[in-house]
Homo-oligomer: A and B are copies of this chain.
Amino acid sequence: MTVGNLSVEATASRSHSDLRKVGSHPDYWYPIAWSHELKPGRTFAGHFAGEPIVLVRPVEGDVFALEDRCAHRQVPLSKGTVDGCTVRCCYHGWRYDGSGQCVDVPYLGKGKLPNGVRSYPCFESNGIIFVWPGTAPAADPLAQIGHAAEPGYKSRRFGKIVRCHYTFMHENLMDMNHQFLHRRTTGKVTPRYLASRKGDGWMEVDYSFARPDQKPPLGETVIVGSLRGSARTARDLMTVRTDYPYQTLRMWTRDDKPVLSVWLGYTPVDAEQRRNRTFIVLSVRKPKIPGVLDLAWPVLAWFTDRVFAEDCEIVEMEQAAFDEQGADWNQEVFPPIRELRTLLRDCGNPR
């Protein structure tokens, strides 16, 4: 595929900031944990950009999120115990409620309680617990996570901590020319760039896919094949979208409903944001024949795990190169990726 108006100079950054040093903007909802990771009456130790965050799920009541350090001696509250709708530090037993207020020090008078800890707005939806790490008032909780809640779709949740800056994740997914990376897993695929659109805080790119000489692998057949019908179309259509700070990928074969819909969230873990926890919700449209998708699910899981592992390996190499070189030396030639880089820089956290 050839892009008409490519220019070969390296991207001149519009500002002086190095894209890999731009922080994720904290004034958004970020996924911190899968719901199943936090049992009733237990805590979960999460992070956003180096800030430790404890998630607490009372036996009865909603999940709440606090700074994961006791105000007293700074040890993690996540090591403590859940006591009704409060969490108690494991060391000297200081107790905090869901607003972060210290409500008990066992050896101290009630009128003299010390300052508490910070609390974070928090909600749980579609199997993910989100936290608002910023200082501004929270926006509404996300209405939907891809197609996870829609009837007619079956979803898979996966992901892991990837040792790279979140921007490498965005660029990886949006540049479909990287299909070469997956050639052993997906077979030869020829992506063709069709169009791109952008707006305030988002952009998206359309691609068509063709397989000139080969059959698709089993995993892909499972995902899209059964929905395509008997008359194979020449091209499948895909749209990759960055809706800051999330991404989606949708693929169509016939009608307006995507056959595949993927939602991705990237939560920076460490203060330098050289690691992110990637949360992926992959939703596949159920075919007409019931049970086919369930039967094929293990193959689909293997296939998507393998593609994700290949992506993780390459973006971690990009981060390693950045760490060695001390700066972003990328020489981007594909205009949509240049635009994406500008978008990520503009939406990010100036530091």
- Chain A interface residues (CB < 8 Å from chain B): 1-4, 6-8, 10, 50, 52, 69, 71-76, 79, 90-93, 105-109, 112-115, 175, 177-178, 180-181, 191, 193, 314, 317-318, 321-322, 324-325, 329-334
Interface of chain A, main secondary structure: loop
Q: How far is the CA of A1 from the CA of B314 in the complex (A)?
A: 57
Q: Tell whether, in the assembled complex, residue A75 and residue B318 are in contact, meaning their CB atoms are under 8 Å apart.
A: yes
Q: Which of A69, A75, A329 has the most CB of B within 10 A?
A: A75
Q: A180-B93, A330-B72 are in contact. Are A107 and B193 (CB under 8 A)?
A: yes
**Minimum CB–CB distance for A201 against chain B, Å:** 25
Neighbouring B residues of A175 by C-beta, 8 Å: 92
The 7 A-B pairs of least Cβ separation, nearest first, read A74-B321, A93-B180, A1-B107, A8-B114, A75-B317, A107-B177, A92-B177
Q: Tell whether, in the assembled complex, residue A322 and residue B72 are in contact, meaning their CB atoms are under 8 Å apart.
A: no
Q: Tell whether, in the assembled complex, residue B2 and residue A92 are in contact, meaning their CB atoms are under 8 Å apart.
A: no
Q: Tell whether, in the assembled complex, residue A74 and residue B193 are in contact, meaning their CB atoms are under 8 Å apart.
A: no
Q: How far is the CA of A349 from the CA of B317 in the complex (A)?
A: 30
Chain B residue with the shortest CB-CB distance to A4: B109
A92-B181, A114-B331 known, 19 other contacts, Cβ within 8 Å: A1-B106, A2-B107, A4-B109, A6-B112, A7-B112, A8-B108, A8-B112, A69-B321, A71-B331, A73-B330, A76-B317, A79-B317, A91-B181, A92-B180, A105-B333, A107-B177, A107-B334, A112-B333, A114-B333
